[in-house]
Amino acid sequence: MSASYDHLYRLLLIGDASVGKTSLLLRYEQGVFSETFICTIGVDFRIKTVELEGKIVKVQVWDTAGQERFRTITSAYYRGAHGVLLCFDLTCRSSFERCAAWLEEIRKHARDDISLILVGNKCDNSARREVLFEEAESFATSHGMLFYETSAKDDVNVQEAFLALVSALIAKG
């Protein structure tokens, strides 16, 4: 039986608790945002099939079910991953500062050629912004990552961020 897709990519959402990882996944996959239900969903992964650059791409996105709270994400989670969305909250400075430590975890557990993208979520809440675009972008650039500011709530740049990562993976071949 022939596969019904050209590529299958396994992506991971990584980052501190409450930055909006589950919200980004639900926005990406279902186009919805919910203030109430997300905390109770123990999502493992969601699959979305997209057509990109003439290829059918199956995107399997994994979400942590709260393990990040205890920093107990095991190496099994990283196994086989092609790409990571490293997420922080633009309204929570400590979540940005923790990204360096998350990068170390990724380097330790994931494959060497993993593709990374930095995502600063909650850009809708500009009154409470604690991280400047420029400093996040410069951190991203210095680690070879693209940077996107997103809002899962207002649907800003969510599809774009996932697509940028998938495009980078397709470009790698």
Positions that interact with ligand GDP (CB under 6 A): 17-23, 35, 38-39, 121-122, 124-125, 151-153
**Whether 162 contacts 59, CB under 8 Å:** yes
Residue 115 site contact among ligand GDP, Mg ion, none (CB < 5 to 8 Å, cut-off depends on kind): none
Cβ(132)–Cβ(88) under 8 Å?
A: no
- Choice between 6 and 155, CB closer to ligand GDP: 155
Site string for Mg ion, 5-24 (x = CB under 5 A): ----------------xx--
Residue with tokens 């190496």: 75
Residue nearest to Mg ion (CB): 22
Provide the minimum distance between the beta carbon of 148 and ligand GDP in the complex, in angstroms, as a whole number.
12
Beta bridge partners of 56: 51
Residue 111 neighbours by CB distance under 10 Å: 11
Q: Nearest approach, Cβ of 161 to ligand GDP (angstroms)?
A: 12
Q: How many Cβ atoms sit within 10 Å of the Cβ of residue 151?
A: 21
**Residue placing its CB nearer to ligand GDP in the complex, 125 or 167:** 125
**Closest listed residue to residue 102, CA positions, set 133, 71, 131:** 71
Q: How many residues bind Mg ion (CB under 5 A)?
A: 2
Identity of residue 60: Q
* Nearest-angstrom CA–CA distance, 107 and 145: 13
Looking up tokens 């972008």, which residue turns up? 137
| Binding-site partner at residue 151 among ligand GDP, Mg ion, none, CB < 5 to 8 Å by type | ligand GDP
Coil, helix or strand for 59? strand
Report phi then psi at 163, rounded to 5.
-65, -35
- The site partner of 82 among Mg ion, ligand GDP, none (C-beta below 5 to 8 Å per kind) is none
Query: To the nearest whole angstrom, how small is the minimum distance from the Cβ of residue 29 to ligand GDP?
Result: 13
Smallest separation (angstroms) from ligand GDP to the CB of 130:
13
C-beta nearest to ligand GDP: residue: 20
Binding site for Mg ion (CB under 5 A): 21-22
